[in-house]
Amino acid sequence: MDRKNTLIGIGLLIVSFGLMFWQGKQAKELADHPALTAPVEAEKPADNADVASKTSSTNDTTQSLFASTPTEASHPDILADDNNEELLYTLENDFITVQFTNKGGAIKNVSLKKYPAVQGEPQPFIFNEEGVLPALSLSTYDNATASPQTFAPAYELVGHADNKIAFRLTTPEGMRLERIYTITTNEENTRDPYVIDHETRFTNESHEARDLKSIYVHLGTVPPVENDQMGEFLNFGYYASDKAKFIKVNEFTGRSGFLGFGQKASVDSLQENIPGIVWGSLKNQFFASVFTPEPPASGFFAQPATMPNEGAAKGNDLGITGSLKFNLGTLPAQESRSLKATYYVGPKEYTRLEALGQKQDLVMQFGIFGFISKLLLVMMNAIYSFIPNYGLAIIIVTFFIKMLTWPLTAASTRASKRMAKLQGPLKEIREKYKDSPQKAQQESMKLFKQYKVNPAAGCLPILIQIPVFLGLFWMLRSASELRFAHFLWIQDLSLPDTMAMIGPFPLNILPLIMGVTMFYQMKMTPSPSADPIQRKVFQLMPFIFLVICYNFPSGLVLYWTVQNLLTILQQYITNKRKDPEVEAIPTSLADTRKGKKKRKK
């Protein structure tokens, strides 16, 4: 059993170091990868454009969007009307400012008032700031480029109130498009303030049926963030057939899989026909757009986008963009058809996304231990509502977790102490039956049963802590609440607590403290094995964890450090307390025989 455990431990160490090597390689590949698409310069708004009152007429030179012959091959290449001035308009509440453009009757960008773009600066984070296309702009499919092409002539503004705006366009074929947007006002409590309600109404004013073709609705463009160097959270996602799938930005770059296996070729874009898509999303580590249409979408198109922003200066310049596809069929003469949707643009907050009601909370990507992540996130936010500091909230959550696992940890410690005392007889059994491993195993199990020692008891706390650790890991990496959250010297709990740079090496204080506490904890814990290899593996664990966790978010390292301190306290109490012995545990196999003779007498 000891040799088997040793092999398992060595195997886990190899996998851990392999994973670390792969993660470092992936981050370097993402930083070094050349841009896949040309940078798109953001258009500068005209002076006082948001209060402009003049309207623009339909572009008569725009090619046909709606044909009477329903064939995919007849789709024209429709481009924006660059001959008309771009006019910008705004809707806002206490949480967002939505800027609309008459080019396509769509959303230019969305400013999130509660979330600064840079820590300590007043400017808000702006979704789609460097967007390839306006969000919710319409596109049609172009066979020549095998991608959607924007249908963005100048729309006419037909209504603009405090919380509602409407655009209209009539095409030369007699198809009228009306695009209506509504946001929640500050006085309303019935809707999430980050949700934009949208409707595109198609009306056929001609005297013959018109094919609406394959219409694509663009979901915007999201940039990378400094925290997510591997692009783990920068992705396009969709939900269909009760499953959510996410396409990471690095799936376009053709990098290798784990430990160099599974090399994939780079691609410029990904698209697929999937009936019944309930919602589509674009997100980075902290912010997301989620488009939930009615009727459901029938496919998607996604591609990377070069972002000319601060991320590019750090070698992390690939954002991601995407669209949902709709097959709206043929519209008879003098009839109308609508595409309605809710469009969430805001922070990745579990409670907000879950309240949208159609599994939009899967955007959080909590992983296989998602139920633990959700529970810990709700607990952390509940504590924060009383103690408004996320560092203290993490410490209190850690305390509660430790109290729940205290009995198991105590049982594990007692089992380790008893196992340590049995190492003499176990060693003699292995030597006596070295030519018969099966017999040695049987005699060892008899010894465990005789002295009521459970060799697996020491694993129980680890089996409990691994799901909690992973659940907390994904929760702390995904939750926007920790972005720019302070604690002591830590400026951002979602980032490593780098105090200085020593050449290319970051000096992170908290992981060093964690390593020291783990080393001290290991010294206090009795080793359940006399095997020298296992003991060395046991002694190396603090260093291994230090290396693995060195660049983890400081919120996660804070949890593990506090966990170690509480375990040291528990170990101190356990070591001071006399362990009630059911029977004196021998130090050699001869003593076990003496014990048996005494019982027979």
The whole-model pTM stands at 0.75
Percent of the chain, pLDDT > 70? 67
Determine the Cα–Cα distance for residues 309 and 204; give it in Å rounded to an integer: 42
Q: What is the overall mean pLDDT for the chain?
A: 75
Question: Is position 59 within any domain?
Answer: no
For residues 253 and 293, state if they share a domain: yes
Residue span of the structural domain in which 483 resides: 383-576
Mean pLDDT of 538-542: 73
For residues 172 and 209, state if they share a domain: yes
Q: How far apart are the first and last CA of the chain?
A: 34
Please give the sequence-ordered ranges of beta strands (E in DSSP) within 503-576, or none if there are none.
Answer: 505-508
Paired residues of 431 in beta bridges? none
pLDDT at 389: 92
Q: How many other CB atoms sit within 10 Å of the CB of residue 244? A: 18
Question: Is position 231 within any domain?
Answer: yes
For residues 80 and 179, state if they share a domain: yes
Question: Is position 13 within any domain?
Answer: no
For residues 360 and 388, state if they share a domain: no
Per the CB < 8 A criterion, the answer to whether 225 and 311 are in contact is: yes
For residues 325 and 202, state if they share a domain: yes
Residue by residue, DSSP assigns 276-331 as EEEEEEEE-SSEEEEEEEESPEEEEEEEEEE--SHHHHTT--EEEEEEEEEE--EE
Residue by residue, DSSP assigns 102-131 as TBTTEEEEEEEEEEESSTT-SPEEEETTT-
Determine the Cα–Cα distance for residues 597 and 583; give it in Å rounded to an integer: 14
For residues 356 and 419, state if they share a domain: no
Condensed to tens digits (0 to 9), the pLDDT of residues 392-437 reads: 999 999 898 888 877 777 666 666 666 666 666 766 777 777 677 7
Going by DSSP bridges, is the β-strand pair 243-248/270-283 parallel, antiparallel, or unpaired? unpaired
Q: What element of type H or E holds 555?
A: helix 554-576
Token output for 283: 């997100």
Question: Is position 378 within any domain?
Answer: no
Tell which of 365, 397, 420 closes a domain. 365
**SS3 for 447?**
helix
Token output for 223: 């940039």
For residues 334 and 473, state if they share a domain: no
For helices 423-432 and 589-600, angle between their N-to-C axes, nearest 10 degrees: 100
104-128 CB burial, b ≥16 within 10 A, e <16: bbbbbbbbbeebebeeeeeebbbbb
Nearest to 160 by CA among 55, 272, 22, 249: 55
Question: Is position 61 within any domain?
Answer: no
Please give the sequence-ordered ranges of beta strands (E in DSSP) within 460-523, or none if there are none.
Answer: 498-502, 505-508
**Does 34 score more than 90 pLDDT?**
no
For residues 488 and 556, state if they share a domain: yes
Per the CB < 8 A criterion, the answer to whether 358 and 239 are in contact is: yes
pLDDT at 591: 57
The CATH number for 300's domain is 2.70.98.90
Mean pLDDT of 373-401: 90
Question: Is position 371 within any domain?
Answer: no
Question: Is position 10 within any domain?
Answer: no
For residues 98 and 208, state if they share a domain: yes
**Does 248 score more than 60 pLDDT?**
yes
For residues 400 and 357, state if they share a domain: no
Number of structural domains found in the chain? 2
User: Alpha helix locations (H) across 349-459?
Assistant: 350-355, 370-386, 390-421, 423-432, 437-450
Question: Is position 50 within any domain?
Answer: no
pLDDT band at 231 (very low <50, low <70, confident <90, very high): low
Mean pLDDT of 159-173: 90
Condensed to tens digits (0 to 9), the pLDDT of residues 479-529 reads: 788 888 888 998 888 888 888 888 778 888 998 998 888 888 877 766 555
For residues 440 and 333, state if they share a domain: no
Enumerate residues 6+ apart whose C-beta is below 8 A from 353.
Answer: 288, 290, 344, 360, 361, 363, 364
**Does 190 score more than 90 pLDDT?**
no
Mean pLDDT of 304-329: 74
For residues 343 and 234, state if they share a domain: yes
Alpha carbon distances (Å) from 32 to 260, 263, 314, 559? 17, 17, 10, 33
pLDDT band at 84 (very low <50, low <70, confident <90, very high): low
